[in-house]
Structure 1
């Protein structure tokens, strides 16, 4: 049952995210042609600025899901009702705090955005963006119960509808109006529609959450939640600093919104690949939470090794895909003038891969509810990120910002995760972890280097043929190397057997 739900979540999420990528590329390409570089830069900067509002959420979403695993496993509806009532109250307060933060940020908006030639009604656009972000949190507690029940595919189906309707309307109205305000109004309207549909699904699947006879949450659970929320606050700050300040630093230290627009095209591809690859692990997190209730350290480690191997394979293919195929992709959809230097591309790939290596232990960390003991580590990560990015941007230019982010991720990979997650959950030596980490980095460097070398040998005059061949090389070469080097490992055999079972089943059905 656990595996079936994970598989269903992954399949629906992959379809949803694949469609999101296709539509995202089409919309951004049309956006750039109809509204221009400054508006694209503004859209990216506003997205980064308003991600700051997630700090106000205090990590409540993670705390919700963690505290629901046990009552869901025990079918304790009374406890679930109490939790939901408590979370609803919390989110009401959070929305008010978000609005207050949004208003304060608006005071500094012009300083962050800088001088512009074409942007009109800046504050109106900002408040439309702000309203959309706030609406995304109005039923967050109901999303959480769906997720904790390992039925994330339901919210992904709704999100699929949201994407198709929103992007379809945005494309039409970009051509008809060339108006960014209309673009944002469509996004807000579709957000409200998505919320209504998720609310209906949650009420229908779990009708007991709306019952009036709800007990107050017991003090012990409440204290535990508050303790975790206090710890998660630091994680939220780090999440914002690490994921969103790149864009803000580019806007402040370089040529404003135009440079942000150049980066935005690369970031679109980077985010799309990351979202799809992360989905494998995000969809498995609830199942890991269920697994951890069994308290079997050897079983936990066995699952971790399989998950870590899968994570390596998909992120290395993502990295080689970026290395080989992103330049022809940018040329086709946005124009050759938007190509950034090789050094900047390598820095983006390094940032992408190192952050990707965090995912397996992050999944175990969140599923185990490890939020408090490492509460100050994210602050260290944030400081390292800002200091390293500012120092390196002065030395390396734009690439330095991304290298700084990669450096800060090492704080988590080399200190926090081995100490607070790897050793306690698996009861293994830290020496084993560090040796595995060094091997992984060397392995990845060899694979990326060989793949880029082979790709350089491809010379075709047609840009579309180059794009296709680059994608093929980016997939085939890593798979060949991984098969030769790791083909005898238990993890490799495990996934090959899964693929064989799927293929043979399909053949049996056809017969």
Structure 2
């Protein structure tokens, strides 16, 4: 195995371990939090995280842009330019850290407008300041993580982070269980985060000793500087739009409902995030393969290949969404957090629908990325801002003026996501497939119709077979949410080219496995 492939395997394995550790600690920590500290503090935690995330927009996408600019000089062993880029990175992050600190302190008087709670405001400010300090200190040391990633050794970062999550998570659980101190648990997290960043800062210095060489000087080429500025602008727009769509819900829930709603919502987002990482985000890993396919095939072949992957995207997203619809309240209410931490079924249905809308175009997004069609026209990069703006306006209008509360906030996301879906479809069909976009919408709504029918039938069947045994109900829900969509999809799509393609693929994989077993 080549060194490059070995590092790739190590990166993937460490990422999996990080994800598993983060998920397990997250589940346990959330349960301990609700038992010993209550829903309001859990909601406060989620709200402050959202506010700090808003401040992190000042980062402007600098880390990603710098990371891209390091690939070439690292490959060419142009250490002078690497050092110059990292020095620029260090200066930018110091300025950003100072800006985050100043703006974060200025926001303190406005916290009562976002926090509807009986918790003492001085306590709220103390929690906020610890989070703010954590964020600010990271800007002064964490920037060296980027060169480790660019050198394709991200497993070093992930292994350190995994250790951090495990140790910090265990200590926080002990502190909360024994002393019931939220502040103390945050201070522990702050200390270990600083130590983790310090370790990686020193580690990067040893891995790339020229970073500390005072006699080494270099310059950044004008083309590289221009590329960094261009990427920062583009990524800043994307970051703002993304935050407006997925990062503002906690703030809106706190402003128009209360911190308890934020606490309940955080449980749903944790589970939905884990499921999506397991299933729906798989398309992000095949972008490079799609890119290779685009090079050697004509438009019609590319379009047919897209249809097959789009159908697979539909199968995965509809299955995960239906399973979530059937089992979310059962798992959260009966197994994990308790009945006080569940939304009404109607609210869950909107959340799951938003999840379906968000991930039903993953195949389309993978083709867009592989073809490099991020901004085929100058105005395209601003469509994401339109989506974020619509989400905020519609959410506030429905939650406040229409008095719809949490339903209005969630429906605002539903409305704004349609803009993203429409833009991705237009870009692919106009510039990649060179076909009329109406064929996308016909298939999109046809797929969505059968996903909704499968979901409704699954929920009704689950309710009719529901028992008092929680374990049986969980197993029942998993079976129902798989069998019903499978049956419906077979009846509707069983004779389609896409269905036969994946059945033949599964048969081929099974045949190869059986041959290997026989040889052994």
Q: TM-score, normalised by structure 1?
A: 0.84
Number of equivalenced pairs: 507
Match of 1:413 in 2: 421
Match of 2:411 in 1: 403
Post-superposition CA distance 1:446-468 (Å, at most 9, x none) = 33234334323322211232123
Shift of 1:92: 2.6
Match of 2:466 in 1: 459
Matches of 2:69 and 2:202, distance apart in 1: 23
| SS of aligned partner of 1:376 | helix
Match of 1:492 in 2: 502
Deviates more, 1:439-448 or 1:145-154: 145-154
Match of 1:471 in 2: 478
Post-superposition CA distance 1:402-447 (Å, at most 9, x none) = 11112101111102x2344664456555344434433432343233
Match of 1:339 in 2: 342
| SS of aligned partner of 1:216 | coil
Matches of 2:294 and 2:69, distance apart in 1: 12
Shift of 1:231: 2.9
Instruction: Check if 1:370 corresponds to 2:377.
Output: no
Instruction: Check if 1:160 corresponds to 2:168.
Output: no
Matches of 1:238 and 1:16, distance apart in 2: 27
Is the contact made by 1:38 and 1:119 (CA closer than 8 Å) also made in structure 2? no
| SS of aligned partner of 1:108 | helix
Matches of 2:508 and 2:213, distance apart in 1: 43
Shift of 1:340: 1.5
In structure 2, stretches of 5+ residues that fail to align are none
**Residues 473, 502 of structure 1: alpha-carbon distance in 2 compared, 3 angstrom cutoff:** farther
Of the three residues 353, 356, 368, the one matched with 2:356 is 353
Match of 1:221 in 2: 224
Matches of 1:232 and 1:379, distance apart in 2: 12
Match of 2:455 in 1: 448
Instruction: Check if 1:242 corresponds to 2:245.
Output: yes
**Residues 354, 144 of structure 1: alpha-carbon distance in 2 compared, 3 angstrom cutoff:** farther
Match of 1:175 in 2: 177
Matches of 1:478 and 1:8, distance apart in 2: 36
Instruction: Check if 1:121 corresponds to 2:127.
Output: no
Post-superposition CA distance 1:114-171 (Å, at most 9, x none) = 3414675222211111122334445554444444555544433333222211211111
| SS of aligned partner of 1:107 | helix
Matches of 2:79 and 2:373, distance apart in 1: 21
Match of 2:397 in 1: 391
Matches of 2:267 and 2:75, distance apart in 1: 43
Aligned residue runs from structure 1 range 18-167, under 5 A: 18-68=20-70, 82-117=84-119, 121-138=123-140, 141-148=143-150, 152-167=154-169
Match of 2:387 in 1: 381
Give the aligned CA root-mean-square deviation in angstroms. Answer: 3.8
Instruction: Check if 1:259 corresponds to 2:261.
Output: yes
Matches of 1:296 and 1:414, distance apart in 2: 26
Is the contact made by 1:69 and 1:148 (CA closer than 8 Å) also made in structure 2? yes
Matches of 2:516 and 2:84, distance apart in 1: 45
Is the contact made by 1:392 and 1:404 (CA closer than 8 Å) also made in structure 2? yes
Is the contact made by 2:294 and 2:302 (CA closer than 8 Å) also made in structure 1? no
Of the three residues 209, 231, 236, the one matched with 1:233 is 236
| SS of aligned partner of 1:121 | helix
Shift of 1:108: 0.8
**Residues 175, 450 of structure 1: alpha-carbon distance in 2 compared, 3 angstrom cutoff:** same
Shift of 1:34: 0.7
**Residues 251, 491 of structure 1: alpha-carbon distance in 2 compared, 3 angstrom cutoff:** farther
Matches of 1:494 and 1:139, distance apart in 2: 51
Post-superposition CA distance 1:237-271 (Å, at most 9, x none) = 212211122111111112x2122222232233223
In structure 1, stretches of 5+ residues that fail to align are none
Is the contact made by 1:297 and 1:426 (CA closer than 8 Å) also made in structure 2? no
**Residues 425, 268 of structure 1: alpha-carbon distance in 2 compared, 3 angstrom cutoff:** same
Shift of 1:178: 0.4
In terms of Rg, which structure is larger? 2
Deviates more, 1:445-454 or 1:496-505: 496-505
